[in-house]
Amino acid sequence: MDAESAFQAVMGALHEFQGAVSSRFDRVDAKLVEHDVRLGGVEFHLGSLDRRVGHIETRLEGVETRLDRVETRLDRVETRLEGVETRLGRVDTRVVNIETQVGQIGTTVQQLQSRLPAY
């Protein structure tokens, strides 16, 4: 084999190698484009989910604020209820005292009636 034919053989092999590599790069580029499209869809859905999570967080903060208000109101109601219970306890004590006094008055009236002369 002379130098010219060896050169031609090397160039042919190099050309085949370049074709194989080029074909391989074309397939890789096609896959990259496909992945970019898929990734774009995923990013779109992630953005949508991110907005939803933000909306839910905002709503949750509103619920927490309203719950704090309800707890504050409940504390006030409990305080008022304790005051009512205290006053009710005083009223109960007064009723017992009045019942005792009425009983004593009844006893006194009976004693006085028994001392009255019969007509």
d(Cα 64, Cα 6) in Å, to the nearest integer?
Answer: 83
Give pLDDT, residue 30: 94
pLDDT band at 97 (very low <50, low <70, confident <90, very high): very high
Question: pLDDT above 70 covers what percent of the chain?
Answer: 98
pLDDT tens-place string over residues 5-56: 888 988 889 898 888 889 999 999 999 999 999 998 899 899 999 999 999 9
How far CA 14 is from CA of 6, 9, 21, 22, 59, in Å, comes to 12, 8, 10, 12, 66
